Structures are given as C-alpha cells and as structure tokens.
Chain A
Amino acid sequence: DADVTQTPRNRITKTGKRIMLECSQTKGHDRMYWYRQDPGLGLQLIYYSFDVKDINKGEISDGYSVSRQAQAKFSLSLESAIPNQTALYFCATSDPPGTGSTGELFFGEGSRLTVL
C-alpha cells in the first residue's frame, strides 16, 4: 500500500457542488499539506497542518477548507466548486527539517478534479 493515499483519484463534478478530497498516510508524520498543480504554475500550497490541532492557510486558500481528523488524515473541501478549481491536487506529508530529517515531502499520487 502507498504511504500517502488520496481518494478519489479522479472526480468530475458540476459548478456549485461540494467536493471533498481525502488523504491518509502511514508515514507517522505530524505535518500534512494540500497542494494544487496547474500547468505552468507549478505547485501552489493551499493549506498545511503541522499537527492535529494546527491548521494554516497557504498561498491560495480562498474557496477551500480543510479538516485534520487525526494525525493520519487530512481532508480538503471545496464548498462550492467553480471551473477554475479544475486542477490536479496533491496531498503530502513530512517531518520537520532538522536532526535526522531533511524535511522531505512525501506526496500522494494526486486527485484530478474537473469542475464543469
């Protein structure tokens, strides 16, 4: 099984619908992240969480919300999806950089979302 699992892998929805993307990890990391990837724009950070009680906005949080249900679970919601939220979404986990850790991010395989 993958260390970082995202569901669903593909989703087509309509404008105005509520969508939830789920992420679970078996790495035992405290830190979890949601990124969005668009062609030519690279990876943009949406939200991140350094532990279960910590939630922080990233560069592009408008229109998104998150929930950290447990150390291993971090979900991303689009309350009312719009077409420009069509993108590839990645969940990632990490340890903090420092003794014994590079701070490397471990990514899931992505969730492709299309909003019509």
Chain B
Amino acid sequence: QKEVEQDPGPLSVPEGAIVSLNCTYSNSAFQYFMWYRQYSRKGPELLMYTYSSGNKEDGRFTAQVDKSSKYISLFIRDSQPSDSATYLCAMSAGGANSKLTFGKGITLSVRP
C-alpha cells in the first residue's frame, strides 16, 4: 500500500457542480496537509493548506482533514471551467527532515 492514495480519475463535471476530491493515507504521523493545483504545461501551485484535523474554507474551496480516518478531501463549489486542472494532495509529518508525499493527482475537467 502506498503512503498516499488518490482517486485516479479523470473526472468530468458540468459547470456549477460540486466536486469532491479525496485522498487516503497510511502514515499516522502526517499533520501537514496540502492541495496543489496544476494547470496544463505549468508547475503545481499550492491551493489549500491545513494543519492537523478540521476544515478550512477559501472562497469556493473547502479542505477537510479527518485524521481518525486518515482521509482528506477538497470540495469545490459552483465549479467553473477555469477549475479544469490536475489536483494533487500532499502531506508531511513536519520536522527537520520531513518531505512532502504526493498523491498521483486527478485531472478535473469542468464542462461549460
């Protein structure tokens, strides 16, 4: 089992839909959780960051972390064609020598 599993997709939804993207993980030491967004021909950029458990909201985006279930989610409300991109979850335990562990990413397409 890989440390971080992400639904492979691809995912195609109509404009205005609510999108749910999910990752599971096995390392209980993870406490920094991130979602990166990667547009075509670009490098990934940080979209959402959460420390430990709980929810974080930023506009149409909500990140959820459930450490008891080792499960994180990214919700996109009122999805727009401009949300079409690859979304990667990433997480780390923190600490001096920690590195981010990435999911494989899911490609989302929002149809006008």
Contact = CB atoms under 8 A, between A and B. Distances in A.
B10 to A, nearest CB: 11
Contact of B32 (A4, A50, A97, A110): A97
Interface residues of A, number: 22
Which DSSP category, helix, strand, loop or mixed, fits chain B's interface?
Answer: loop
Contacts of A40: 8, 104
A107 B45 contact: yes
Give the bracket for the number of chain B residues in contact with chain A: 20 to 34
Contact of A104 (B6, B46, B105): B46
Which DSSP category, helix, strand, loop or mixed, fits chain A's interface?
Answer: loop
18 contacts: A42-B6, A42-B88, A45-B99, A48-B99, A90-B44, A92-B43, A97-B94, A97-B95, A98-B94, A102-B32, A102-B34, A103-B100, A104-B46, A104-B49, A105-B90, A107-B45, A109-B41, A110-B43
Interface of A: 4, 33, 40-43, 45, 48, 50, 90, 92, 96-98, 102-105, 107-110
